[in-house]
Amino acid sequence: MSRIKASAPGKVILFGEHSVVYGKKAIATAVDLRTHCTLSRQDAAPDTSRLIASLADVSIHLSWDIADLLPFRDADRDVTVNRLLSSTDDLIERGGGGPAVLSAGEKKAVVVLVYLYLHISREASNGEEIRLDVMSSLPIGAGMGSSAAYCVSISSVLLADLHSWNVSALDETKLQNINDWAFSGERILHGTPSGVDNTVSTYGRTISFSKSQGIMSIDHIRVPQLKYLLINTMVPRSTSELVKRVKDRLEEYPEETNDRLQRMDEIAHRFKKISESVHITEEDYHSIDRLIEENQSILDTLGVGHEKITKIKEIARRHGYASKLTGAGGGGCTLIFLRDRSSEEVVSLLLTKELTNEGFVVYPISVSSEGVIIQNVKHPHLSKLGEILHIHKHEEQTTVLEDTSTGSKVHVVFAEDRVPNASAHDANSPSVERARFAAQPGFALRPSLSNPNQHLELSDFSSSRTVDFDEDYLEDIHNSQRLDIGSDSSKYDDYMPPTMSKPSGAVKEEDYLEDIHNSQRLDIGSDSSKFDDYMPPTMSKPSGAVKIDVRRVRILYNPMSGAKKGEAFAKESKIVLEANGIQVDMVPLERKGHGEELCETMSVEGIDVVCCLGGDGTFHECVNGYMKRQDDARLRVPLAVLPGGTGNSFALELSGSTKLKVALEHIMRGLAAPIDIGEMYFPTDNSKIYSFNSLHWGMASKVNVTAEKLRWMGKAIRYTTAALVELLKGTKTLAIIEGIGADGKRFELRDEFSVCIANLIQTAAKGMKLAPDAKLNDGLIDVILIRSSHTGDLAKVFKKFYDGTHKELEFVDYIQCKSFSIIPFQKDDPTLISEESDPQVSEEILDIDGELKGITPFKCTVLQKSLAGCGCATKEDDTKSLLPEECPSNTDQQGRGTICQGCPGQETCKSGTGVQPDAAKIALRMNPISHKILVLSGKGGVGKSTVATQLSLALSRRGKKVGILDVDICGPSVPQIMGVPRGEIINSNWGWLPVKHPVHPVSVMSVGFMNSTDRAVIWRGPKKTNLIRQFLSETFWSKLDYLLFDTPPGTSDEHISVVSALKNSNPDGALIVTTGNGLSLTTVGKEITFCRKIGIPILGIIENMSSLVCPCCDEQSELYPSDACASFAEKFGVPFLGKIPLDQRVTVAMDTGQCPHCAHPDSPTVAAVEHILDRITGNKN
């Protein structure tokens, strides 16, 4: 089987949107979100040949007999296109798809793929299957050139396959060929594309372009090293409609609009001039900020802005950044420009969090990315290995690759059999030949990990030798000495750390509780400073520690841990904690995986700390459960570990000891801190596993496999013995290891590795310092890669693990990164990758936190400070914690407390003056009202206002006096639904008099009475808050039985204002309205968290629009899974009040202002509302 892969970047417009249509300059840049296409040729059934297309992102999977496709092809490409477009549905049906379920754009994407195949691909032989797999990280329809990247990636693999390209050297001719074919695909998709998108995707980097009299002028430019956040507003828009809007404005106001287009052209030229500077100064950065804001202001006046874009601009400005739309506008995407000096922690924890809370999708991106990249998987040593390698020139059979950072070059000469001869020399002294060696199979170029800024290395997989361009000799990275263990085990003593006792027999069961740092017992007493004695000198101290008041803990204990002494340790812990005034709940873990189940679903209300008693395996289960929760418990209720197993490395890291007593004392002190978690993603089954400790692959995971079989030996010796066994085997695996480093730059390695260890913490086993530079919450994972498989080298590494000096060895790479992935390959000969070999991705088991689970390939991403841990052996510091505290609204700390950081209502609260002077007046208005209920929803469109009005009408028919306050300032709908759209507010001597319903005793107050029904309200911040407080303090409701608050979707200023004002009025609670749709249910979890955080009881969840009522027979058709909402409510421990079906008769009645309970009393919808009302009022008469 042969396989070729290609990836092409998307693009964003930095400056010049819309003005480029009128001949002005625009600037576009390639981004590091890419579309990937893989072409595979393999054997198929005899006497047939097939084309398979898999577009996973849009769930399109089609398969054709190629003979059925050939009649579409014509020498005239336009004829082929017309035939395909006129027979698209037939084409899709022949491929086994359903055209009815595909959108128009998806159908055209299929046409493009078949068109490019028919005109580019070499013929398939009889019995051959050709497969095209396309996947993308680009959002579709967001103005980021996703269609161009799609066309470029498909064209690339087909052309590379047709011409057998040497893909490491894509010259101008090849790139132009790719670009031309991609443009023809874009024409099918868009009719008359500009050609900019496919040009940027093909060539990459950044270009300035303009089009005059049909001629496109393109120049490549450099851009300042800025970081960017790309925010998808999730608002659909039509590019053609927005372009027409600007055109119409130009025709109506030609002079004014031309002036604005000219100003946009000047902005693009000014940015280009700044970009061409040798050195970008601080003033230049400020100039760019001003250009961005000016450009966005002009776009707003052209009518292509949107309220979501304005919201993003306001959020960015609060954090000191400038933003603008990119693309056509009217929604789509927005760019926030971040400077080099931006604090990534602040950006990720504050800016990104705030944007995400507003419902936006955020992508951290880099710009000026590389263009199309093609990789022939049969020849991985011929592929590009990162941006540091640059094709300098190509002369006949000699390729010169240049290290752009130093000018060092290497000549690689490819003979006919593609086996390279190589020589290296200094670019400044070309006559000085540094090294030359005979052709050997298996060479690959890579940046030197020991000094990536000064070296390139040409590595020989077969001998592990390296040519270093700054050295005069070939360096053998292995020692010539070998350790011959033989039968004399005493020789191994040289490799034993001095503090480890040599095994002399069975290990005592209690040995694992010994304190490895200090044999003396410590009497803490009242002097907590003595805890510092338990801190090992190199241990990573977590930042952001905060003191919590521990009054109640829940202990989840593994009875089988510690040689089946888990229950005894749990009882001992309970005695110690209760003796110190702490209430204890004890829950046994009954089976494997039980800890994960409990931590994901159990209620933690009233619990201060959840303690996991057992080894690292037990804590691993609890962490995975906690990370899957839909609420904020993982930050609000810390996890603590009580060491009671055979492996307790995290207890050692967190508290400095593996001793149970020490861990208990630290927990009683109540010091908690955020810790990092590694998210392991496995594409083979689309699953995730979370890690708090470490990941082992290669020989390292094999050691743990062997050690599992030797558990009877005890912890101290079984890992040593297992390591010795694997040392003697000395296996290596070819793999691609790539990721994002601590500096934010991408790295990629291709080599044979014997060991990969990735640690989030420093320690492992009996104090091994596997990752000496690791910290608990620095947002990084430390990756240790060992290239050697010789016994002597590996034994040397093993010895140095105990003091952390292994990272200084020449055959060890130590990389701190934010994310990384491993793709290992199988091959017949481990020292050979040649044209005859066909390496396949290898599925190898991993060791995650000491548990054998997960298989390669995988990707690990660090989720910084995503879990709170308790029991830290460090002093409390001034760093702000991630642990939520009580909301300080209506106090002198409102908007200023720790919890206020990132809260949507922070600025609103902060703008006040502490305790509001109208609080007493509001309380006076609320006191005569018996019951006050908030109606909430996580997202719009679920029928929240409809449910609120139906409940109020149903209550009134029961003889209750009801009021409904519509505080959805920006989208009031209650007046229309209640049949009083033109009601007027009367200002009487007693206050504002609400509008009365024409039939029922329902009083209505809404901002909708203060504005025209078709006029948008754009009140924000304090003005919006003041209006709500004025409604609460000035409205004269008189005596009511029920007052319902119809709030906007989500959690916003309106919610904060209402809850703050009602805090002293004892509201009954909140009703949460949702649908059974998965997206709606996802947002319900946030509403539950919001209510619990601010102390509002949750009366229950209502599922609206659960089914469709037939207008003829009242039969109901389910729209969503029947038990989805009920299961969700049970999971979060809140009542499920019932379902409300969708009845067309009721909908029409409410649209026309009629009371559905009067017009259609027999409707299933009315019956459902009455049933839910019975449950709500069960204890409220």
At 606-635, the pLDDT tens digits run 899 999 998 888 899 999 999 988 777 888
| Residue spans in the chain of domains classed CATH 3.40.50.10330 | 540-673
Residue 850 · residue 623 · CB < 8 Å: no
**Which pLDDT value is given to residue 377?**
54
Question: What is residue 488's predicted lDDT score, i.e. its pLDDT?
Answer: 37
**pLDDT at residue 668 is higher than 70:** yes
> Which residue out of 40, 136, 147, 691 is catalytically annotated?
147
Q: Which two tokens stand for residue 636?
A: 């609000």
Give me the mean pLDDT over the 589-607 stretch: 89
Asked whether the predicted pLDDT for residue 513 surpasses 70, the reply is: no
Q: How confident is the model at residue 45 (pLDDT cuts 50, 70, 90)?
A: confident
Question: Binning pLDDT at 50, 70 and 90, where does residue 63 land?
Answer: very high
pLDDT for position 1082:
75
pLDDT of residue 215: 65
pLDDT of residue 82: 93
Q: What is the pLDDT of residue 793?
A: 82
Q: Is the peptide bond before 498 cis (omega within 30 degrees of 0)?
A: no
Amino acid at 310: T
Average pLDDT, the chain: 74
In this prediction, residues 556-566 reach a mean pLDDT of: 84
For residue 571, the tally of other CB atoms under 10 A from its CB is 14
Worst-scoring range by mean pLDDT, 330-344, 573-587, 891-905?
Answer: 891-905
Q: Which amino acid is at 714?
A: G
Element (H, E) at 697: strand 694-698
CA 60 to the chain's CA centroid:
24
Sign of the dihedral through C-alpha 1086, 1087, 1089, 1090: positive
Q: What is the pLDDT of residue 1101?
A: 93
d(CA 279, CA 297): 28
CB atoms within 10 A of CB 303: 15
Contact 340, 309 (CB under 8 A): no
Higher per-residue pLDDT: 391 or 825: 825
- What mean pLDDT is predicted for residues 671-687? 85
Average pLDDT in the 269-290 region? Answer: 81
Q: What is the DSSP string of 351-415?
A: IHHHHHHTT-EEEEE-BS-B--EEEETT-GGGS--STTEEEEEEETTEEEEEETTT--EEEEEE-
Contact between residue 725 and residue 503 where contact means Cβ atoms under 8 Å apart = no
Exposed/middle/buried for residue 665 (C-beta within 10 Å: 0-12, 13-18, 19+): buried
Q: Exposure string (b/e) for 1134-1154, b if CB count within 10 Å is 16 or more?
A: bebbbbbbbbebbeebbeeee
Across 745-772, average pLDDT: 83
Q: Which residues contact 429 (CB under 8 A, 6 or more apart)?
A: none
**d(C-alpha 283, C-alpha 1082), whole Å:** 44
Angle between helices 77-86 and 172-190 (to 10 degrees): 40
Q: How confident is the model at residue 509 (pLDDT cuts 50, 70, 90)?
A: very low
Higher pLDDT, 94 or 546: 94
* Lowest pLDDT segment from 48-57, 540-549, 1137-1146: 540-549
Q: Are 892 and 914 in contact (CB under 8 A)?
A: yes
Residue 1039 is predicted with a pLDDT of 83
The whole-number pLDDT of residue 1110 equals 84
pLDDT category of residue 981 using cuts at 50, 70 and 90? confident
pTM as predicted: 0.39
Q: Could you report the per-residue pLDDT of 468-501, keeping only the tens digit for each?
A: 332 222 222 222 222 232 333 333 333 233 332 3
Mean pLDDT confidence for 965-972: 79
pLDDT digits (tens, 9 = 90+) for 642-658: 888 767 778 877 777 77
Residue 680 has pLDDT above 70, yes or no: yes
DSSP string of 428-443, one letter each residue:
T-TT-EEEEE---S-E
Say which residue, 445 or 1073, is predicted with more confidence: 1073
Higher pLDDT, 970 or 385: 970
pLDDT of amino acid 450? 36
The lowest-confidence range among 802-811, 960-969, 1049-1058 is 1049-1058
Give pLDDT, residue 908: 53
Is residue 527 scored above 60 in pLDDT? no
What CATH architecture is 913-1176? 3-Layer(aba) Sandwich (3.40)
Domain boundaries 227-365, CATH class = alpha beta
Please give the CATH topology (third level) of the domain spanning 2-221.
Answer: Ribosomal Protein S5; domain 2 (3.30.230)
Catalytic site includes residue 956: no
The closest alpha carbon to 657, from 519, 798, 486, belongs to: 519
Asked whether 412 and 420 are in contact (CB, 8 A), the reply is: yes
Q: Is the model more confident about 45 or about 975?
A: 975
Q: Which residue in the list 133, 161, 197, 968 is annotated as catalytic?
A: 197
User: Which tokens sit at 835?
Assistant: 């044209």
- pLDDT tier at 1015, thresholds 50, 70, 90: very low
Strand partners, 674: 868
| CATH assignment, 540-673 | 3.40.50.10330
**Is the model's pLDDT at 1120 over the cut of 60?**
yes
Q: Contact, 758 vs 640, CB < 8 A?
A: no
Q: Tell me, what's the pLDDT at 1059?
A: 66
Q: Which residues contact 567 (CB under 8 A, 6 or more apart)?
A: 557, 559, 588
Q: 679, 688 in Cβ contact below 8 A? A: yes
Surface-to-core class of residue 855, CB atoms within 10 Å of its CB (0-12 exposed, 13-18 middle, 19+ buried): middle
Give the model confidence (pLDDT) of 85-135 as tens digits.
Answer: 999 999 999 888 876 778 888 999 999 999 999 999 887 777 889 999 998
pLDDT of residue 1062: 62
For the domain made up of 687-870, give the CATH fold.
Tumour Suppressor Smad4 (2.60.200)
Going by C-beta distance under 8 Å and a sequence separation of 6 or more, which residues neighbour residue 537? none
Return the SS3 of 730.
Answer: coil
Backbone angles phi, psi at 144, to 5 degrees: -110, 15
What pLDDT is recorded for position 782? 95
Q: How sure is the predictor about 716, in pLDDT bands with cuts at 50, 70 and 90?
A: low
Domain with CATH 2.60.200.40 in the chain: 687-870
Which of 289-293, 404-408, 889-893, 1023-1027 has the lowest average pLDDT?
404-408
pLDDT of amino acid 182: 94
Residues forming CATH 3.40.50.300 domain(s) in the chain: 913-1176
Examine the pLDDT at 951 and tell me if it is beyond 90: yes
Q: What is the pLDDT of residues 163-187, one digit of tens each?
A: 888 665 688 889 999 999 999 999 9
494 is an active site residue: no
